[in-house]
Structure 1
Amino acid sequence: MRRHHVIIALTGAGLLALTGCGSDSDAPAPGKTSAPASTVPSTGPSGKPSADPSAARPDTGLPPSPAPAQRAAYLAALDAIDPEIVNGKDDKAVSRGLDQCQSIKGEKDPAKRLAGANQRFIGPNHPDGFGPVKSALIVAAVQANLCPTY
């Protein structure tokens, strides 16, 4: 019973933290300007388009790939929630986390963020997701480790 109370408290704290992150204003922050996205593909030194996937990330709204320490902390956080979330597929878990960052940035409704995480993060024994409590913890782990500025 005590574990249940801790999970509920952490979920509530995570939701409160996520709720305070949004802004209803469409205006850019002071000192920041928005530039139109370039449609010209980046090119390498040879003049050929770059194969670096992180070069395209700013246009897609995804954060850059995490540094090794960030990646390890993120995977450890997911394993602490439920080992089945990663399930030995580290790259897939990171990819899903980066996709969730895009949802965090674009979706202001916390309930829709949680629903998206519940659909995105699935496992062999959880084909319909891990439920609202674990989804809230997953969203908190994603935001803390992969996209803290969102």
Structure 2
Amino acid sequence: MRTRTTAALIAATLLLTLTACGEDDTAAKPSTPPTLTDEQRSSALAAAGIPDTTPEQEAAFVAALDAIDKDIAHGKADKASSRGRSQCQTIHENPKDEAKQVDFATKRFTSPTHPEGRTPDVAKKINQAAHHHLCPNF
């Protein structure tokens, strides 16, 4: 009985090994997504409510945040700009619901000294800065 079990295990192992050798290597590789033109990328972002911002717009946004409170961006301009674009998406998705926009800004703009987020008054100013500098068309 022990010999049959051992023989069956060896046969199964060999079968698996041989099957793996015959597989097409390209099937395991992930396909690369198609390359988008700048116009296609901008159009897709705009449809999702995410503005395709320029470095100048982002710098103006971060400067506006720093004018409100330097701790909002806390020296991380890229992170603050990314959160600002996300805030624009919230503005785009809820154009007539300022309370919701402010609520999202309250929670979105955390920092080491404000891990729970911002007050509604500060969040309202952040929302206005994002709207003014990053997504004025929303």
TM over 0.5: yes
Matched, 1:124 2:112: yes
Matched, 1:69 2:56: yes
Unaligned runs of 5+ in 1: 1-47
Residue 148 of structure 1 aligns with an amino acid whose one-letter code is P
Q: How far does residue 129 in structure 1 lie from its aligned partner after superposition?
A: 1.1
Aligned match of 2:34 in 49, 56, 68?
49
Q: How far does residue 76 in structure 1 lie from its aligned partner after superposition?
A: 0.3
Q: 1:128-147 residue pairs with structure 2 within 5 A?
A: 128-147=116-135
Percent identical: 44
Structure 1's 121 and 68: CA in aligned 2 closer, same or farther, altered over 3 A? same
Bigger relative contact order, structure 1 or 2, given CA contacts below 8 A and separation 6+?
1
CA distance in 2, matches of 1:78, 1:130: 12
Q: How far does residue 88 in structure 1 lie from its aligned partner after superposition?
A: 1.4
Q: How far does residue 120 in structure 1 lie from its aligned partner after superposition?
A: 0.5
Give the alignment's Cα RMSD to 1 decimal: 2.2
CA distance in 2, matches of 1:67, 1:91: 12
CA distance in 2, matches of 1:121, 1:99: 11
TM-score normalised by structure 2 residue count? 0.67
Q: How far does residue 130 in structure 1 lie from its aligned partner after superposition?
A: 1.5
Residue 69 of structure 2 is matched in structure 1 by 82
Residue 114 of structure 1 is matched in structure 2 by 102
Q: Point out the structure with max Rg over C-alpha.
A: 2
CA distance in 1, matches of 2:110, 2:64: 16
CA distance in 2, matches of 1:91, 1:73: 12
Q: Secondary structure at the match of 2:87?
A: helix
Q: How far does residue 131 in structure 1 lie from its aligned partner after superposition?
A: 0.3
Per residue, is there more helix in 1 or in 2?
A: 2
Q: How far does residue 95 in structure 1 lie from its aligned partner after superposition?
A: 0.7
Q: Secondary structure at the match of 2:135?
A: coil
Residue 149 of structure 1 is matched in structure 2 by 137
Residue 49 of structure 1 aligns with an amino acid whose one-letter code is P
Q: How far does residue 52 in structure 1 lie from its aligned partner after superposition?
A: 7.5
